[in-house]
Structures are given as structure tokens and as C-alpha cells.
């Protein structure tokens, strides 16, 4: 996968902003994680918290000082009902916080209660990628009485979406990366099968395609691909 990674780095270097370039270099082991996170800055909104904690998760930097500030901001911004405004934000932020050592248990309990009330198998049926990602991310990283059943449904529907063409290899691999898994319960689909399909999506210019084709969206998708390729490389190296 080294040539694919090199071409991806060149694409981000040509089309990404400073934060994207620093993140790509850190993902490739050529730059400092703290510097990449510092380029994002401390969050002041839910999207910024998602961006910071997501980058920290991808880079193995959830224990960094800036990520810890992101955790504190997210806890302070949590609504009284336990959410961060909607299903995707709540599942994703809750999942990131569940991977940290500093989050308060009551924060995760409140988020879990909100997601528990929102959960139903119908929420992940019909190709709703955001719902699958949000529920899978949270329930894979935070202990909850619904975790086993919800992850079975998420796994089945993730595979169904991929097999039907509703989700491409990159979107599918992204969910597995958030869950830190090579496969999900209920699915006969894993990293080994997705690897070739993901590499086949890479465009001649080194980037990955995105809906609408804007350079910014393609840079974001290429960073996602670098995350997946890096994790697969590390797993192969460990045997």
C-alpha cells in the first residue's frame, strides 16, 4: 500500500489546507501529532469538537492536552437531555469520549440514555449511513445494555449497504475504523475484503472521490483513506 499512500499524501499536499497537510503527514508517521492537532485549535462548536476529537482519535492523540480540552468543552456543551443536538453528533462525540480516560461517567451515562431512547432497528435500516456510524461508534466504545443487539444490527446493515452499493468501501471502512475493528458482529465483511475495493477507488491524481467532487470533500475522504490504510498496515505488521 506504500505507493497508494505516497500518492494520497501528494494529493493532500496539493489540495489541502495547512491542517489537512499536517494531519496527513502525522498519519504517515512523518509529522508530530501535537502539531497536527494544534492546527485545528480548541473547539467552540459541536462541529469543531467533532473535528478535533476525530483527528485526535485517528492520530492516537486522545490523551494530548488539546484533546483533553476538547473533552472538557464537549462535556460542558452536553444538553440536559444527554445529547449534543442530534443523533450523529451524539453517537460520534459519545464514542470519542468513551475512548478517553478523562471523561466523567455521568457524561457517558447521559449520552447512552439518550441514544438508548433513540435506538430502534428501523433507525439503521434503509441505508442510513450516519445512523449506523453513530450507533456503532458509541456502542462499540461505551458499555451499554443495548451494545450487543445494536452492534449486530449495525453490522448487518453496514454490510447490506455495502453489498447493495449504497455505501462504498471507504465509507464502510470508516465505520470499522471508528469501532477499532476488522469486522463487526452480524456481518461477513471485514478489512481483508475492503482493502482491495478501497485501493481501487483511488483516483489517478492520488485522491479519493467525494460526492460533488469538491477539492475539500476529496481531501477529507483521502484523509479517511489514509486512516484505514495505516490501520491495516499496522495490523499486518503485527502479524
What pLDDT sits at residue 236? 66
pLDDT at 172: 97
CA atoms within 13 A on the CB side of 212: 8
Q: Provide the pLDDT for residue 239.
A: 57
First to last CA, the chain: 16
Q: In the prediction, which pLDDT does 191 show?
A: 83
Contacts 24+ apart (CB under 8 A), 75-78: 75/103, 75/104, 75/107, 77/46, 77/49, 78/107, 78/110, 78/111
CA 70, 133, 111: angle at the middle one, nearest 5? 50
65-111 residue pLDDT tens = 999 999 999 999 999 999 999 999 999 999 999 999 999 999 999 99
Mind listing the pLDDT tens digit for each residue in 137-173? 999 999 999 999 999 999 999 999 999 999 999 999 9
Query: Is the Cβ–Cβ distance between 3 and 11 less than 8 Å?
Result: no
Residue-level pLDDT at 231: 87
Cα 105 → chain centroid:
22
pLDDT at 89: 98
When pLDDT is averaged across residues 202-207 and rounded to a whole number, the result is: 97
Task: Quote the cell numbers at residue 78.
Answer: 452536553
Average pLDDT of the chain to the nearest whole number: 95
Cβ atoms < 10 Å from Cβ of 234: 9
**In the prediction, which pLDDT does 126 show?**
86
* Local structure of 80: helix, strand or coil: coil
- With H, G, I as helix, E, B as strand and everything else as coil, classify residue 181: coil
Q: Please check the confidence at residue 16 and state whether its pLDDT lies above 90.
A: yes
Considering only residues 183 and 202, tell me which one the structure prediction assigns the higher pLDDT.
202
Q: Are 198 and 224 in contact (CB under 8 A)?
A: no
Dump pLDDT digits (tens) for 190-201: 888 899 999 999
The pLDDT assigned to 238 comes to 64
Amino acid at each position: 500500500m506504500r505507493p497508494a499512500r505516497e500518492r494520497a499524501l501528494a494529493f493532500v499536499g496539493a489540495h489541502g489546507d495547512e491542517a489537512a497537510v499536517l494531519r496527513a503527514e502525522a498519519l504517515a508517521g512523518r509529522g508530530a501529532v501535537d502539531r497536527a492537532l494544534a492546527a485545528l485549535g480548541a473547539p467552540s462548536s459541536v462541529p469543531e469538537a467533532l473535528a478535533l476529537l476525530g483527528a485526535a482519535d485517528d492520530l492516537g492523540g486522545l490523551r494530548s492536552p488539546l484533546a483533553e480540552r476538547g473533552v472538557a468543552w464537549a462535556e460542558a456543551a452536553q444538553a440536559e437531555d444527554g445529547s449534543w443536538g442530534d443523533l450523529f453528533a451524539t453517537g460520534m462525540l459519545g464514542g470519542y469520549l468513551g475512548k478517553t480516560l478523562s471523561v466523567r461517567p455521568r457524561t457517558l451515562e447521559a449520552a447512552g440514555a439518550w441514544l438508548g431512547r433513540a435506538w430502534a432497528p428501523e433507525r439503521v435500516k434503509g441505508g442510513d449511513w450516519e445512523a449506523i456510524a453513530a450507533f456503532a461508534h458509541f456502542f462499540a466504545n461505551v458499555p451499554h445494555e443495548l451494545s450487543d443487539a445494536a452492534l449486530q444490527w449495525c453490522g448487518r446493515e453496514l454490510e447490506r449497504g455495502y453489498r447493495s452499493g449504497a455505501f462504498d468501501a471507504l465509507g464502510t471502512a470508516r465505520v470499522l475504523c471508528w469501532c477499532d475493528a476488522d469486522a463487526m458482529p452480524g456481518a461477513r465483511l471485514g478489512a481483508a475484503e475492503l482493502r482491495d475495493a478501497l485501493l481501487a477507488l483511488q483516483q489517478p491524481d492520488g485522491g479519493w472521490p467525494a460526492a460533488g467532487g469538491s477539492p475539500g470533500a476529496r481531501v477529507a475522504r483521502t484523509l479517511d483513506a489514509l486512516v484505514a490504510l495505516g490501520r491495516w498496515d499496522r495490523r499486518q505488521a503485527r502479524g
